[in-house]
Amino acid sequence: MEEFQRSAAEEQMVDEQKKAAEIERARRQQILRQILTPEARERLSRVRLVKPEMAESVESQLIQLANMGRVGRQITDEEVRGILDKLNSNKKDIKIERR
């Protein structure tokens, strides 16, 4: 009986965590809808398919800027491309030369 109660409590906790994650995801999407143009949102969604961690990083940075009040207008696709280029340029290219 105790095992069943413990299992039910764990299941309830997992459900609550899923709900909290869903609420957070919806909040992030709402903020991104406000600060990004549709083209910029589309570009980030395409980047998410290839490099999810990079898209997450850019979104987090943009949301942080919006929360600080540093975003006065919508961010365009060109600006998102510039941000992505800067992030990509920071990574080192490793070239292996075979002889």
Tens of each residue's pLDDT in the chain, 99 residues: 667 677 878 888 999 999 999 999 999 999 999 999 999 999 999 999 999 999 999 999 999 999 998 888 999 999 999 999 988 876 666 778 887
Tell me which residue range forms the domain holding 29: 2-68
The CA distance from 61 to 82, in Å, is 14
Q: How many CB atoms lie within 10 A of CB 83?
A: 17
Does residue 74 form part of some domain?
no
Does residue 75 form part of some domain?
no
The residue to which tokens 């549709």 are assigned = 38
Number of domains in the chain: 1
**What would the two tokens of residue 75 be?**
């961010």
What's the CATH number where 64 sits?
A: 1.10.8.140
Q: What is the pTM of this model?
A: 0.73
